[in-house]
Amino acid sequence: MGDASRPTKGTDQPQPNSGLTTRTTPGPRSRSSGGRMRPTLSVLRARRGPDAGPDTVADDLKTCLQPKLTASCMNPDCSKKCRWPVGRGRPPLFHDRLCHEKYHLIRRRLVAEIADIDEALERQPRPSSEERIYLENQLARRRWLLLRYPDLAIERSDRP
Ligand SMILES: [Zn+2]
């Protein structure tokens, strides 16, 4: 008992670099074509030299490193993924209906609270400095959260 010859688990074994996505030698189960990392679009464009016209962009897009087919659910509290649709259809921003509803509920609440705080800060006569500091802190907290809830109506529209 208590013999030092008992093998320790794992810690002294070389660990595979499984956390990296930029490895150049994909494993046997990699689904990338030809087992070789595709070059990025900027690399392909650079290879064509300074005289490459825009008529070659589509060709380079076909052979370059492809963008991911999945993206995070837009609900910042959710860890699920959304997948780019195979056929036609609107690309999903939320992994399910509940996340969609939560997002808009929380966003609306933050926007309304920010408006109330703005009003309290700008009232006449001015709030005391103690109250103003408190209000500004509460405002900053909500703005900090609201950065995670961008206005998706703008993203969806055709405006640049
Ligand atoms: Zn979600």
Q: 102-126 pLDDT, tens per residue?
A: 999 999 999 999 999 999 999 999 9
Cα of 101 vs centre of ligand 1, distance in Å, is 10
Model confidence, pTM? 0.67
pLDDT at 88 over 70: yes
State both tokens at 120. Answer: 């309290």
81 CA distance to ligand 1 middle (Å): 7
Query: Cα(91) to centroid of ligand 1, in Å?
Result: 14
Closest CA to 24 of 60, 71, 41, 32: 32
The angle formed by the CA atoms of residues 155, 159 and 160, to the nearest 5 degrees, is: 90
Q: Confirm if 39 and 62 have CB atoms less than 8 A apart.
A: no
Bridge partners of residue 50, in order along the sequence: none
Distance 148 CA to ligand 1 centre (A): 14
Nearest partner of 45 among 36, 33, 35, 57, judged by Cα? 57
Residue 120 CA to residue 123 CA, distance in Å, equals 5
| Pairing mode of beta strands 81-83, 70-72 | antiparallel
